Amino acid sequence: MNINEMLAKEFGLRQEQIDNTVALIDDDKTIPFIARYRKEVTGSLDDQTLRLIFDRLTYLRNLAKRKEEIIASITEQGKMTDELMALIDKATVLVEVEDIYRPFRPKRKTRASVAREKGLEPLAELIMSQDKAADPEAEAVNYINEEKSVDSAEEALQGAMDIIAEDVSDNADLRKYLRTLFSQTGRLVSKAADETAETVYENYYDFSEPVSKVAGHRVLAIDRGEKEEALKVSVEVNEGAGERACISRFAKGTSACSKYIELACTDSYKRLIYPSIEREIRNELSEKAQEGAIKVFKENLHQLLMQPPVKGKITLGLDPGYAHGCKLAVVDETGKVLDTGIVYINTKAQAAEAKRKLIQMIKKNKVDAVSIGNGTASRESEALVAEIVREIPESVSYIVVSEAGASVYSASKLAAEEFPDYDVSLRSAVSIARRLQDPLAELVKIDPKAIGVGQYQHDMPPKRMDEALTGVVEDCVNSVGVDLNTASHSLLSYIAGINASVAKNIVTYREENGAFTDRKQLLKVPKLGAKAYEQCAGFLRVRDGKNPLDNTAVHPESYAAAKLLLEKCGYSQKDIGSLSELTDRADKLGIKTLAEELGTGVPTLRDIISELMKPGRDPRDELPPPLMRSGDVMELKDLQEGMELMGTVRNVIDFGAFVDIGVHEDGLVHISQLADRFVKHPLDVVKVGDIVKVRVLSVDVKKKRISLTMKNVK
C-alpha cells in the first residue's frame, strides 16, 4: 500500500507535489506555512487542498496501521493464507478490513461460541457440506451429552445452526453485498414515538426516503429526534431481499442439510446481520451528514471571520436588555475602552433619559459608529439609536451585529483577565463594539461553536468539529496576519508555530520590554525557538519598526531576495509602499530570469512583489463593507408581500440562507428561491456577510417567520 501514490491518484496531482507535501507535514510544518511559503515545492497548493491531503493521509496511515495489527493477529492464530493476505492488501476502506477480520476477531460469549464449546462444530460442518446422503437429525443424536448440557438432538441441531448463523454473518463478501443493497435500495424510515405528542419533529412522524437520496440536514434532524425519544428510526429494504441474499449464497439444492442452512441463514440475517448492517448504514449516513454540516460550518465561519473591519472609527457598543438595562461601552479606533454606562428603555420616561445619555456619550467621545447586539430588546434599542442618528448633526451610522457568543466570552477567564475592572455585562458591550471594528480579532476569543453560524453544530463529534474549525480560524488569522505589538494572546495563539503558552509569553515579553521593533526579537521570547520562528515570523507584522520588510508578509528567509529585487528594479527599502512601477520593471527584466538571479521561485517572487507594493495589506479590505444603517427602523408588522429590501446574509444552511433585512427576525431564502437556475447547495450562490437584494414572499407575524426570494429581484 503506497500511500503517496494513492494520494497523487486521488487528488489528481503530480507525484512530486504529494511527496514534497507529505515530507513537509512529517517535518511538522504547519498548513498555513506550507501554503504561503513553500509554493515551489507543493506546486502552489492552497490551504484547503493541503488540509484535505492531511486528513486523507491520516486516514490512510491509520488504515495501514490497522491492517498491520490484523495481519499480526491472524498470523499469531496460525490462520493466515496467501488469499487472506491479498484480500487485506486490496482493501481500501476500514470497514472492508474489519469485515475480513471478523471471523478471526476474539469474540465475547455468543450462542455460537457456547455451541462450539459443546463440541457441535463437526455437526455444523456436516450440515454445511450439504451432502445429499447426510441425515442431520439422525447425526444429531450422536451429539447428545449430559456433561456438555446437550440434552437432545434438537438442542444439538440448534447449536449447529447457531454456529452456521455466526459463520454466515461473518462472511465478508456477503456483508459487502448487503451493505451495497442497503445503500442502493434501502429507505430511511422514521415514525412518531407518540403520535399525539406535539414536537418540532412532526415532519418526521411518517417519513420515508431512499438512503441514497436523503439530505444531510434531514438525517441530522432525525438523529436528534431519535436521541430525544420523539422518533423511532429504521433502515428498511424490500421485504425478504436480505434473507434471500443469504440463502442463495449458502443453501444449495433441496437436501435435508439445505433446509437447516436456510433456517440458519434466516436467523443470521434477522438476529445478527440486519441489526449490524442497519447500524453501519445509519452511522454512515450520520457521518456523511456531519461532514457535510461541518463543511458548511467551516465555510460560514471563514466568511464571518473574514468580514471587512470597520477601521478608524470610534465605536459605541450597545448590548440590549430589559431587566438589567442596555449596557454601553465606547472604544477608540484601536479598541481601547474610553467610556461605559447603562441605560434603561422599559418605559417612555426611561427611554427619554436613555436617549439623552446616549447623545451625551456620542458627543463626548466623538462616536462615529454604533454597534448594536441583536439579542433581547435589540429592536427597541435600534429604534432609539435610529432616532438619535436622524436628529443629531454629527455623522453617525449604526449596524446590528450578531451577539452570538458574546455572553460566553464575557463570562470567560480570558475576558476577566482582559477587563478585570468591568462586570460581565459591560465586557459584552465591549465585545459587540470590537466585533464591528475587527471581527477576526474579537471572534477568535470565542469557541467557534458558540458563534452561531451553521446547523446542528452541537450534535457534531466534538473532536472532529474542533479540528475542522480550528483549521479555519488558523487559515483566516494567518492569511490576514497580525500586528505583533497589539494582538491579544488569543489571536497570536492561532499563528502558525505558536501555541497558547508561547502566545502568552509574547504578550508578557511585550509588556516587560516595550513594543517589538523587529521580528528577530521574537527569538528572545521564552520557548520560541528557531523552528517556531521559521513558522510564525512571516505572519507577524511590526509596524513602524527598524526594517520596513517586517511590516509585510515577506518571510525573513526571503529578505535578501527582496532587497536584491529592489536594487535590480532601481529602488531602495525606503521606497516600499510607493512602488507602483515595480511589477512593470520586474516584467521587463523577466520574471523567470529574475527569480533565478534572486535564488527564489517564481511564485515566491510574485508574492514578494505584491507585498512590497502594498505593505501591511489586509485581504479583507478588498471585500464590500458591512451594510451600515441610518434610516427608519422597520418591524415585522411593517413588512408587506412584494417589498424589496437590501439585507445581509447571516447564516447559510443546507436548505437555504437566513438574511437580516433590518427587522428583529432574519428572513429565510429557501434554496429554491436563491436563483432562477437549479442550485445544488446554497453556498454556490451566497456566503455569510454577502449584501443581497431580496423580495418579501410572505410574513407570518404570529410565528415570526419571514419568507424571502432572490428570484427576479431588480
pTM: 0.83
- Give, in degrees to the nearest 5, the angle at Cα 197 between 191 and 198: 105
Quote the CATH superfamily of domain 3-104: RuvA domain 2-like (1.10.10.650)
pLDDT at 1: 64
- Per residue in 322-366, pLDDT (tens digit) is 888 999 999 999 888 999 999 999 999 999 999 999 999 999 999
Cell numbers linked to 482: 497580525
Q: Where are the domains of the chain?
A: 3-104, 315-476, 511-622, 636-709
In 303-383, at which residue ranges do the beta strands (DSSP E only) sit?
315-319, 326-331, 337-343, 369-373
Q: What is the CATH number that goes with domain 511-622?
A: 1.10.150.310
Phi, psi of 150 (to 5 degrees): -110, 95
pLDDT at 664: 72
pLDDT at 230: 95
Q: Do domains 315-476 and 636-709 have the same CATH topology?
A: no
Find, among 405, 402, 404, 424, the residue nearest to 413 by Cα. 424
Cα(244)–Cα(541) distance, integer angstroms: 68
In 506-626, at which residue ranges do the beta strands (DSSP E only) sit?
540-541
What residue ranges of the chain have pLDDT lower than 50? none
Q: Does domain 636-709 have CATH number 2.40.50.140?
A: yes
pLDDT at 637: 82
What CATH class does 315-476 carry?
A: alpha beta
Residues 6+ apart with CB under 8 A from 263: 161
Phi, psi of 118 (to 5 degrees): -85, 0
Beta bridge partners of 658: 651, 668
- Give, in degrees to the nearest 5, the angle at Cα 660 between 656 and 665: 90
pLDDT at 115: 96
